[in-house]
Amino acid sequence: METGRLIVLTGPSGVGKGTLLRSLLQRHPELYFSISVTTRSPRPGEMDGKDYYFISRSDFEEMVKAEKFLEWAEYAGNYYGTPRLQVEEHIARGESVILEIELEGARQIGKTFPDALRIFILPPSLPELEQRIRRRGTDSEEAISRRLSRAGDELAAATEFDIQIINDDLENTIHRIEAALFTYNPPFPVGET
CATH of the domain at 145: 3.40.50.300
127-185 pLDDT tens trace: 888 888 888 777 788 887 887 888 888 999 999 999 999 999 999 999 999 999 987 55
Residue 172 is part of which domain span? 6-183
Q: Are 91 and 6 in contact (CB under 8 A)?
A: yes
Domain assignment present for 128? yes
Region 87-109: mean pLDDT is 92
Identify whether 70 is part of a domain: yes
Q: Is residue 188 part of a domain?
A: no
**Alpha carbon of residue 74 to chain centroid:** 14
Q: What is the DSSP letter of 32?
A: E
What residue spans of the chain are helical by DSSP H?
17-27, 57-65, 84-92, 103-112, 126-136, 141-156, 170-183
pTM to 2 decimal places: 0.81
CA angle 93, 96, 97 (to 5 degrees): 105
If one compares 95 and 188, the residue with the highest pLDDT of the two is: 95
* Rounded distance between C-alpha atoms, residue 150 and residue 140, angstroms: 15
Domain count, the chain: 1
Encode 50-60: b = buried (16+ Cβ within 10 Å), e = exposed. ebbbebeeeeb
Domain for residue 88, yes or no? yes
Task: Write down how long the chain is.
Answer: 193
160 lies in a domain? yes
Residue at 83: amino acid letter: P
Residues 7/1, Cβ–Cβ less than 8 Å = no
> Does residue 1 belong to any structural domain of this protein?
no
